Homo-oligomer: A and B are copies of this chain.
């Protein structure tokens, strides 16, 4: 579409515009609609009244010029980026997609962009080395250790909105966080094993410095106590959330004659390792030894036997965290702790009820600790 504009000046000024071909600014729109830029801005942001007729002209001008507001300028003037950031330590599991999808749902239709970062830093080392921060976002979602504590403290000191995910903030920081019911989930799983008739329940713990791991072990111990089962020390070892490590531990147990009728692995990956080891020793899962995990990883329903495990509402975690962050950004107060319930997914690896595969049950939310 070719448009000709002839301005009635002393010298005939001829402006040829390939509409949509040029990067129109708010002033171009304003001129074309015969209003001031301010009115266009009001129209755009619903930040003040605009007469219906005026609005129509502005609308037409915007369409004609194929106008797109410039985020940078907007951010500068309004001191708002309309962008939130999500920092992930890594991206290697569908798990993160569920999380991201939740975040996207929460910001859908709100004129907010999502900036994503995983690990890595850059730039001059002295310039507070932040890929995502106050300079390009209005707030940050931090998953587990995506940000070190020092940086966290600095940003928090700047009053920068932050919501954590799957990580408890330093006690003195008052940063809202979204956690899942690790403790309760583990507790429920042990209870289920007990109901299935298991007494000697071994535990493959995760890394000691991992928050999820700590809560899961706590739930395990509590459940044992609640069911008046003694904790058998040698049957509680760390497998570091690692498949090979888990297999080694179990193989060692079996080789040294440890007796157990169930193994609760602190995550599905180590559960897979445990199953491998049990089977390699010529024993059956769940007939000789039951094995259960935690996480409900994608593969867990496909392995043999399908794994009984604990599932957390990942997508909802993302949604809730983003919602809290938006509140923070709006200046509203946010919930300091959002604790999401986990559910146990009963498949075949735990023995009993094997017909009832994939049945799940919800559990009430309670505070950890």
Give residues in A with beta carbon < 8 Å to B.
20-23, 44, 59, 62-63, 66-76, 81, 83, 91-94, 96-97, 100-101, 104, 108-111, 113-118, 120, 122-124, 126-128, 130-136, 154, 157-158, 298-299, 302-303
Contacts and interface: CB of A to CB of B under 8 A. Distances in A.
Nearest to A129: B68
Given A109-B122, A113-B115, A113-B117, A127 B97 contact: no
Contact of A91 (B62, B97, B122): B97
B62 A126 contact: yes
A63 B127 CA distance: 7
A108 B120 contact: yes
Contacts of A117: 113-114
B76 A158 contact: no
A91 B97 CA distance: 6
Given A158-B20, A303-B302, A68 B128 contact: yes
A154 B111 CA distance: 21
Nearest to A104: B118
Contacts of A101: 91-92
A62 B70 CA distance: 28
Contacts of A302: 299, 302-303
A134 B68 contact: yes
Contacts of A122: 108-111
